[in-house]
Amino acid sequence: MMKALLIVLIVAFQLNLVVAQKANIELIKSLIEARYGVSLDKVDLCDIYILEGIVYDEKSINGALKKYEKQQIIFTELVDLSKTTFFNHDCKYVTVLSTGSNQAEEEKERILSKVRANLNDNLPKLVIRDYLCQDCMQVVVDGMSVGVYQARQLVNDLKMEDIQNIAMYDTPNPEVYGRNAKNGLVEIYLKNKKKSR
C-alpha cells in the first residue's frame, strides 16, 4: 500500500513539472522553426531577443523567460532586420517574443479579415465530409488545430473582444501543423477558452 502511494506521489509530481514548465529559448527556437518552416542553423540569426519590447542577449534571455509559463509566450516572430532601423548588428534576423497582451485592434482585424476571406472564398457553402481544401490556411485555436469548416464558422462568428492574440505565418512547417499549413497558418488565442470548443 505504501509503495503504491509513493508511486502515485512521484507520478503526480512529474505531471506537475510538465504542466508548470517554464518557457526557455530552446522551446522558443523549436516553435519558430515549426512556424516558419526554417532551420535556425541556416538563418543568419542575431544573438539578441526582444521580449515584450525589451532587448535581451543570449545569456540573459532564459532568465527573463523564467517569469513565464511556456504557454504564455504565444507570439514568436522572426523579423528581417533589413526592413528595420535596428543598427549595430551583423546579422539578418532577430527573434521577437510576446505574451500578446498588447496587440493592436487594427492588427487583429487585419489578420482576422485575411483568414475570413481565405476560408470563405475557398470552401464550398455546402459542408462536404473529408473535403480537402487546396488553398485554405491552417487555423490553430488555443493551441489546437481546427478543421476547415469549424475554422470558417469560428472566424466568421468571432468578435474583436473575443481575441486575446492572433498571428499569421506565411511559411509554417506542414509536417508540424498539417497539410493546409502549406497555405499559411493562423494562430488565434481567445480570451474565453470555451468559445473555441
Confidence band of 44 (pLDDT split at 50, 70, 90): confident
Given a cut of 80, whether residue 74 has pLDDT beyond it is no
Least confident residue range of 20-29, 47-56, 58-67, 77-86: 77-86
> What is the reported pLDDT for 4?
46
Judge contact between 138 and 186, C-beta under 8 A: yes
* Domain boundary assignment for the chain: 22-98, 105-196
Average pLDDT over residues 99-105: 78
Given a cut of 70, whether residue 164 has pLDDT beyond it is yes
Given a cut of 80, whether residue 197 has pLDDT beyond it is no
Q: How far apart are CA 111 and CA 138, in angstroms?
A: 13
pTM of the full structure: 0.63
Given a cut of 70, whether residue 8 has pLDDT beyond it is no
Average pLDDT over residues 144-168: 91
Task: Name the H helices within the chain.
Answer: 2-19, 25-36, 61-65, 105-122, 148-157, 174-177
Q: How far apart are the first and last CA of the chain?
A: 40
> What is the reported pLDDT for 9?
40
The more confident residue out of 181 and 119 is: 119
Distance of CA 16 to the CA centre of its chain: 23
Summarize pLDDT for 15-40 with one digit per residue, the tens. 444 445 788 888 888 888 888 888 88
Residue 20: DSSP 8-state = T
* Mean pLDDT, all residues of the chain: 79
> What is the reported pLDDT for 5?
41
